[in-house]
Amino acid sequence: MTAARMQRRRFAVGLAVLALAATCARAQPFDVPYVPTPQIVVEEMLRLAGVRKDDFLIDLGSGDGRIAITAASHFGARALGVDIDPGRTAESRENAKEAGVTGRVEFVNGNLFDVDLRRASVVTMYLLPEVNLRLRPKLLQTLEPGTRVVSHAFTMGDWKPDRHVAVERNIYLWTIPAAVAGRWRLEADLPGVGQRSYQFEVRQKYQEILPVAKSDEATHAVWEAKLEGRSIRFIVIDGQLAHRFEGEVAGKSMHGVVRTGVGSAEVETPFQGTWIGNL
């Protein structure tokens, strides 16, 4: 074989390899296959999230755009849909135009792991269990406390949902919890007790909290502790009375009211909390 023929052969083989690589790249499956969510499930997802006109919803893996479009057309929200398939993105834009919501909905072609979630007050998704788990750290670290996350069909591992409903399919709701783990100083003037300063120690796993209240006199039982977004409530037993704390967490501060007594004898007083360190 002459040198020229060998060179032509190498060139042909090289072209074949490049063509095969391009074909494989085009055929490479996405992390999540496209399976449309039934419209009745779409509507229940948005209802469960309590979507309102002032919400900004981000739909991860938006497919044909039906969740974002329904959020805009039926709930008045603004929305962003993200999908890695450019064909689905183009289809979503056409569907938004037909629904008359192009001014309230945007669709982008991209990787859902790269999208900036900070604007979202609601995040929706119909992905896969392993993808949910990969997303979970980003959701918890990026989203503001109180942001609602709704998943069609799949959970988030050991992060228990706040609500679970079934309307043809399983739907799960989480609310991003504020970070409250650590030691706090709570101060309040309590009926039957007087001015009280507690060291309030909180252990936290997602939205589940286990607090203990300590004063100079004793360690006090804490009951019915509940964290939902920034809202926190719990009952401290002190002076043979149940003091019902209800407040909001804002970074390293906490404030709210304490209700003591029942019926016409109920007294309401303010409380303040300051984060003072890790456990």
**Cβ proximity of 112 and 126 under 8 Å:** no
pLDDT of residue 16: 37
Q: What are the b/e assignments for 116-137, b being 16+ CB within 10 Å?
A: ebeebbbbbbbbeeebbbebbe
Q: Which residues contact 3 (CB under 8 A, 6 or more apart)?
A: none
Question: Could you report the per-residue pLDDT of 53-70, keeping only the tens digit for each?
Answer: 999 999 999 999 999 999
pLDDT of residue 33: 87
Average pLDDT, the chain: 91
* Spatial distance between the Cα atoms of 205 and 181, rounded to a whole number of angstroms: 9
Q: Average pLDDT, stretch 26-31? A: 50
User: What's the first-to-final CA gap in the chain, in angstroms?
Assistant: 78
Q: What kind of fold does domain 182-277 have according to CATH?
A: Lipocalin (2.40.128)
Question: Could you report the per-residue pLDDT of 72-84, keeping only the tens digit for each?
Answer: 999 999 999 999 9
pLDDT of residue 140: 98
Is the alpha carbon torsion for 160, 164, 170, 171 positive or negative? negative
* Pair of tokens at residue 220: 């006090």
pLDDT of residue 2: 55
Look at residue 182 and tell me whether its pLDDT is greater than 70: yes
Q: pLDDT class for 32, splitting at 50, 70, 90?
A: confident
Q: Average pLDDT, stretch 146-175? A: 98
pLDDT of residue 24: 36
* Spatial distance between the Cα atoms of 129 and 134, rounded to a whole number of angstroms: 9
Give CA 116 to chain center in angstroms. 13
Maximum Cα–Cα distance for the chain, whole Å? 106
Residues of the chain with CATH 2.40.128.120: 182-277
> Strand locations in 11-89, DSSP E?
56-60, 78-83
* Reported pTM: 0.87
**Cβ proximity of 186 and 200 under 8 Å:** yes
pLDDT of residue 53: 98
pLDDT of residue 9: 45
Q: pLDDT class for 14, splitting at 50, 70, 90?
A: very low
Give the Cβ contact number of residue 37 at 10 Å.
24
Question: Could you report the per-residue pLDDT of 198-246, keeping only the tens digit for each?
Answer: 999 999 999 999 999 999 989 998 999 999 999 999 999 998 899 999 9
pLDDT of residue 30: 60
pLDDT of residue 7: 52
CATH number, domain 39-175: 3.40.50.150
Question: Could you report the per-residue pLDDT of 79-136, keeping only the tens digit for each?
Answer: 999 999 999 999 999 999 999 999 999 999 999 999 999 999 999 999 999 999 999 9
pLDDT of residue 110: 97
Residues of the chain with CATH 3.40.50.150: 39-175
% of the chain exceeding 70 in pLDDT: 89
Helix (H) or strand (E) holding 43: helix 39-48
